[in-house]
Amino acid sequence: MNEAFQHYTELLPALLISWGGNIAGALLTLTAGFIVSGWAARIVKRSLGRSARIDPVFHTLAGQVVRVAVMVFTLIAVLGRFGVETASLIAAIGAAGLAIGLALQGTLSNVAAGVMLLLLRPFRVGDAVSVGGTVYVIDSIGFFACEAHLPDGPRAFLPNAEIWGKTLVNYSATDRDLRRLDQTYGIGYGDDIGTALDILARVANEEPRVLKDPAPLIKVQKLGESSVDILFRVWTTRADWWDTQLDLLKKAKEALDAGGITIPYPQRDLHVIQSIEPGAAASTAKSDAS
């Protein structure tokens, strides 16, 4: 008994030195990892904050991802000091991540699409965007989905993967902040084309929201079935586009009426040709003979 006690007593200092060094090293590694992870997260967040194209929501997420990644590597290093096979541990973590990724494939695709939307910023909150041919007004951009509403009021919930996988048209972001306005006015074939063109040109010049550069384009577009169609193409600012379009319709109609230009109703001439059956022709001939 005394010999066994003496044996363990002799081993105790070596065990304390060995395990104590590992524990102290592990504590130092954890402390350093915690400090470095926080420092790296702040650096990433501050760097992303300098870019106006990256959504503020993404700043915090990127910082948290970096922090978690640093802490994971720190824990793996700590376990390695205690003799844990880190290679097998990393393989197990990778396999678990793969299984989780396959199980959450649809959700992760929405997250990936949300990250791309936040990074590239094809639209912002408040923009009117056409997705798959339907126009939505964006209310918020999230990592899984975007909240929006239709122009006439109903709310919509759009998964990010569905948005990213389709062609987007942002009506709130235009080239040089301009929008083109195309209207067509049909006049009668008996009306004077030159007079109609002059009237429409005057309407465009008198409208202050119509831009002089690019210049208005007012030309005969085609000869329709019942009218001569005139193309009325002008440019305005994006903010004035809708109001200008509605006001020009009223002003152009009133100006054309005042100038004696008619806007004909759609009409079509029908020529009815009657065919006479052979039997009916013979009876008609007999009656004529009598």
* In the chain, domain spans: 2-103, 122-170, 178-258
pLDDT score, position 274: 74
Residues in the chain: 290
What is the per-residue pLDDT across 198-238, written as a single tens digit (0 to 9) for each? 999 999 999 999 999 999 999 999 998 889 999 999 999 99
User: pLDDT tens digit string along 252-287?
Assistant: 999 999 999 988 877 666 778 876 565 555 555 555
pLDDT digits (tens, 9 = 90+) for 127-154: 999 998 899 999 988 878 899 999 899 9
- Tell me how far the alpha carbon of residue 35 is from its chain's centroid: 39
Q: Is domain 122-170 in CATH 2.30.30.60, yes or no?
A: yes
User: 159: cis peptide before it, omega within 30°?
Assistant: no
**Which residue, 36, 18, 22, is CA-closest to 72?**
36
Rounded to the nearest 5°, which phi and psi values hold at 2? -65, -35
Q: What tokens does 246 get?
A: 């509605």
Beta partners for residue 128, in sequence order: 137
What 253-260 contacts at long range (C-beta under 8 Å, 24+ apart), as own/partner pairs, is 255/199, 255/200, 255/202, 255/203, 256/185, 256/187, 256/196, 256/199, 256/200, 259/195, 259/196, 259/199, 260/191, 260/195
- 165-198 residue pLDDT tens: 888 899 988 889 999 999 999 999 999 999 999 9
CA–CA dist 134, 182 (Å, integer)? 21
CATH architecture of 2-103: Orthogonal Bundle (1.10)
**CATH tag, 178-258:** 3.30.70.100
The amino acid occupying position 25 is G
Q: Do the domains at 2-103 and 122-170 have one common CATH topology?
A: no
CA distance 118 to 44: 16
User: What pLDDT, on a 0 to 100 scale, did the predictor assign at position 113?
Assistant: 85
